Structure 1
Amino acid sequence: MLDGMVGRIDVHSHLLPGIDDGCEDIDESITCARRMVEAGYTHSFCTPHIWSNLCNNSETIAPRVQNLQKALDDAGVPMIVMPGGEMTINRAFPGQQACDFVTYNNAGKYAIFDFWTHEMPPFFAASVRHIQSAGIQPILAHPERIYAIQTEPRVVDEFPTLGLLIQCNLECLGDETRTPRLALAERWLLEDRYFLIGSDLHGADTLDKRLRGLQHAIDLVGEEQVWKLTHTNPLKLIEGRPPGAQAP
């Protein structure tokens, strides 16, 4: 049980340098990690995009996380980084081998994914079931950002029956104008629909907005609820406990 040693846990970040569209170099990664520590984060999962045009998989991500950890330690940044990956589902995904799934901490317990279509794809439910068939709990990243869900938000009503959890994006909560994604993020926070909140950090240039989103979440639903989404539930990803499990 790690609870006493852990602050906020970022469950979604593109903190690894030079691996996708996130931090460009190690200096930017260190800068971002230092800012997150100042905001109360002690741990961060590194979840680079798992795209066919990128050489990102469990075997290649793990040593990069180790290298980043050493750089953070050398720079005196007290953050623990852990491996993960943000999978993207497509028509071929239900036929993908389960050994290719990238999971949180490479533990085979939880996995996060997204999709980018203008309508709910016909392969969506099959993809969720495919992840579940490997004994993995699927989590949909930032549904408030996805156009297919923005235009059909009632689809999230079906997610509990499907056994699907969802993660809120801090960037969406940091919008300064009334955007569809901000409206949905606020609504689903107030309705206690989310299992997690993640920064989806991509670099130093948007970090202020994401941290503004964290404060907005606290203002909206209170520190206790935000703590559940940035600490209590994320801790289950580290410890491999089921979503409904209580702390031992």
Structure 2
Amino acid sequence: MIDLHSHILPGIDDGSRSLAMSLDMARIAVADGIEVMACTPHIYPGLYMNATAGITAARDALQQSPEEAGIPLQLTIGADVHLVPGLLEGLRAGTVPCLHQTRYLLLEPSHHVAPPRFEESVFQLVAEGYVPVITHPERLTRVEDNYAVFGNPVRQGCWMQVTAGAVTGVFGTRAKYWAEKFLGDGMTHILATDAHSAGRRSPVMSKAREVAERLLGREEAELLVRGRPRMIPDNAVPSTVPRPPLRDAPRTGWLRGLFGSRR
């Protein structure tokens, strides 16, 4: 399996606190069947001032330790990016990393406050050739009132990433319900761990794959954890990637409904 969302780099954000914890996370991932993991720390100006050079250096340093410890986990880079002024310029300049230096980037929506002009900014990313992968929509506080509007971003070129732990109940019954609904309605492109530690939020995907297989069948379950995630490092053209079985949903106002009205 391939995990494209993790906070395994030690001491760089709110994820792993030490090299020892990162190695524990790597062992858990490999034991679970994960072969490739993206190191995707938060980028949030004023709080987590990460950039491509620092993330790459931290990944390179961490990669040596699993190899020395005999842990066969391949690490690549990315970031869990918030939409802030200058994001597009940072992507163009290469200071904000996409996943494995491709067109795909993890985009973390605010749980509570909508940034100004979110709709125009996201569509500009798509128009520029990027594929925003919206992270953990099942855990947003507004999902109950705005679920029906999620279909449109998928049709317009965005991807959705649901958290493996949400599928298995780690984040409670509410997140599990919405995670299963995102899966069942065909609005999930990939599963990822969003791992932050070796404890409750550890890098485990196999249990979520089993749930997905019960809901959607083996073929789609494999696409969620292996097929589509493998196509991202290959920088596949989105139109060539097998689509989730998206059901009909309202097509209007999706970003305004999900993230609030413009200010």
Given the two structures, how large is their TM-score scaled by the length of structure 2?
Answer: 0.82
The 3 A distance-change label for structure 1 pair 197 and 72 is same
Taking the aligned partners of 1:175 and 1:236, their CA distance within structure 2 comes to 28
Q: How does 1:31-180 map to 2 (within 5 A)?
A: 31-52=24-45, 53-90=47-84, 92=85, 96-97=89-90, 98-99=92-93, 100-107=95-102, 109-118=103-112, 123-175=117-169, 179-180=173-174
CA contact (8 A) 1:198 1:230 kept: yes
Give the whole-Å Cα distance in 2 for the aligned partners of 1:239 and 1:176.
Answer: 31
Secondary structure in structure 1 of the residue aligned to 2:199: helix
Q: Does the CA-based 8 Å contact 2:79-2:99 persist in structure 1?
A: yes
Deviation at 1:28, TM superposition (A): 0.8
Contact 1:20-1:48 at 8 Å conserved across structures? yes
Alpha-carbon separation, structure 2, partners of 1:158 and 1:194 = 13
Question: Given the superposition, is the C-alpha separation of residues 95 and 28 from structure 1 closer, same or farther in structure 2, using an over 3 Å criterion?
Answer: closer
Alignment root-mean-square deviation, CA: 2.4
Q: 1:28 aligns with which of 12, 16, 21?
A: 21
- Assess if the C-alpha contact under 8 Å between 1:167 and 1:196 holds in 2: yes
Q: Which moved more, 1:124-133 or 1:175-184?
A: 175-184
Q: Write the distance in 2 (CA, Å) between the matches of 1:32 and 1:213.
A: 17
Pairs within 5 Å for 1:183-222? 183-207=177-201, 210-211=204-205, 212-222=207-217
**Could you say if the C-alpha distance between residues 218 and 209 of structure 1 is closer, same or farther in structure 2, counting changes exceeding 3 Å?**
farther
Unaligned runs of 5+ in 2: 243-263
Please name the residue that 2:228 is paired with.
233
Match among 218, 239, 244 for residue 244 of structure 1: 239
Structure 1: stretches of 5+ with no match in the other structure: 1-7
Distance in 2 between residues matched to 1:60 and 1:127, nearest whole Å: 26
Secondary structure at the counterpart of residue 239 of structure 2 = coil
* Percent of paired sites with the same residue: 25
CA distance in 2, matches of 1:139, 1:177: 20
Shift of 1:126: 1.6
Measure the CA separation in 1 of the matches of 2:101 and 2:116: 28
Partner of 1:4: none
